[in-house]
Structure 1
């Protein structure tokens, strides 16, 4: 009989992967999205990263710590996309 670990090891690889996808998505939105639809595309990127977070965390098959891993991933994505939205917002102020 095997003993289950008492403390879950967070799966940082999946968390960093989702954060990387969010960063790439923010860069793509800033470069390629039309000016009037940039914030719409950032919201779509947030939704896609949230779904990706659920998929990757469910694929780990670890029940213990699921909420913690999910929260860390989504809060990180939200922070990255919020920073991207602020940069895009300030850049539109100074475009002319």
Structure 2
């Protein structure tokens, strides 16, 4: 019989860490990638965020609600990158 952990670590920090990584990746893409390649690189960044979400949640070491934590991390990263891509689109239609 397994004993429950006395004070489990909070999983929300790992979820937010993936969101922050998505924001940093989107910002880096915005500064260093030409405009015609940004959407493709945002897809690559989202794929890396999915891998990062799995790695962070596996490092957390608990199987309870694993799928929900990974899904929340990935969904948040997709929303963050979507907002950043919306900013790229709006910036492209503003005349310089």
Which TM-score bucket, shorter chain as reference? 0.7 to 0.9
Once the two structures are superposed, what CA deviation does each residue of 1:49-80 show, in whole Å capped at 9, x if it has no partner? 11000111111121111011111101100100
Pairwise CA RMSD of aligned residues?
A: 1.8
Distance in 2 (CA, whole Å) between partners of 1:95 and 1:70 is: 40
Pairing 1:11-30 to 2, within 5 Å after superposition? 11-30=11-30
Distance in 2 (CA, whole Å) between partners of 1:89 and 1:31 is: 14
Structure 2, unaligned stretches of length 5 or more?
none
Paired residue total: 94
TM (norm. structure 2) is: 0.88
Secondary structure of the residue aligned to 1:67 is helix
TM (norm. structure 1) is: 0.88
Pairing 1:1-96 to 2, within 5 Å after superposition? 3-4=3-4, 11-95=11-95
Distance in 2 (CA, whole Å) between partners of 1:30 and 1:82 is: 13
Secondary structure of the residue aligned to 1:54 is helix
Q: How much has 1:16 moved relative to structure 2?
A: 1.1
Structure 1, unaligned stretches of length 5 or more?
none
